[in-house]
Amino acid sequence: MDRVALVTGAANGIGLETAKRLARDGWKLAVLDLPDAGLPDKFKDLGDTICITDDVAEDRTAPRAVATIMARFGRLDAVVSNAGIMVRKPIAQLTLAEWRRVLDVNLTATYFLARTAEQALRAAKGAMVTIASTRALMSEADTESYSASKGGLVALTHALAVSLAPDVRVNCVSPGWIATGDYAALRPADHAQHPAGRVGKPEDVAEIVSWLVDGNRSGFVTGANIVVDGGMTRKMIYAE
C-alpha cells in the first residue's frame, strides 16, 4: 500500500522541502496552506498530490483535510504539523488578538489536527511530527507568543506520544536558524557562529522528518524533541 502524508504550511521553506522529500521517498501527499500561498503551482509536478487551501487555525480545516485525504487515498500514515507564524513585538504592544492568533496557528491547530487524524493514524500504525523551534528552549526579546507556542508544541508532542501509544508515534523537531531565502547572501560570520560551521537549510529539517515518519527506520523513537540547530543551543556565548 502507498503511504500517505499530510504536510501543513507546505508552500514555503521547511514545509515545502519536507513535502518534496517525502514525495521523493515515495509517499502520496496532501499539502495544506493558505489560499494565496500558491500550492497548486508549487506541486503541479509532484504527481498524485492533494492541495488543500485553508487556514489551519479554523475549526473546519482539520476535518476537511482528513476527510479529503480519506476519500482520495483511503488512509493516512503520517501528519507533519509545520504551519506557523510569528508576531514579534514588545510585550506592551502585543495585542491579545495577536497572542491568540499565534497560539491558534502554531499550537492549537496541531492539537486539533492530532485529534481529528487520530483514528486514521491509529489504523495505519502511523506517525506525527510537530515542528517547534529552538525558541522553545532559548529566546530573543519580543518573542513571547511565538516562544510560548513552540514550548507548548514540545510538551504537546510528548503528551500525544503517550496518549496515542502504542499505535502512533509522535515526535518533535526543533529547528534553529534555517535560511529559507537566498543562502548565498549569508555572511561568513553567520555561518561561523554555528559549531557545525554553517547556517541550516530546509533540507536539514526535511531529512529528520523523513526519518521520523518512517517506522522502519525510527520505530523505537517517540516523544522525542530533536534539535536541528548546528549546535547553537549547546554553545555558551559571553560578551567580550
Catalytic site residues? 146
Distance, in Å, from the CA atom of 5 to the CA atom of 7, rounded to the nearest integer, reads 7
**Could you tell me how many residues make up the chain?**
240
Q: Are 158 and 115 in contact (CB under 8 A)?
A: no
What are the strands of the beta sheet with 4-8, ordered from one edge? 49-53, 28-33, 4-8, 78-81, 127-131, 169-175, 225-228
Q: Is 5 helix (H, G, I), strand (E, B) or coil?
A: strand
| Residues 105 and 195 sit within 8 Å (Cβ to Cβ) | no
Report the Cα 31 to chain-centroid distance in Å.
12
Tell me the C-alpha distance between 220 and 228, whole Å: 19
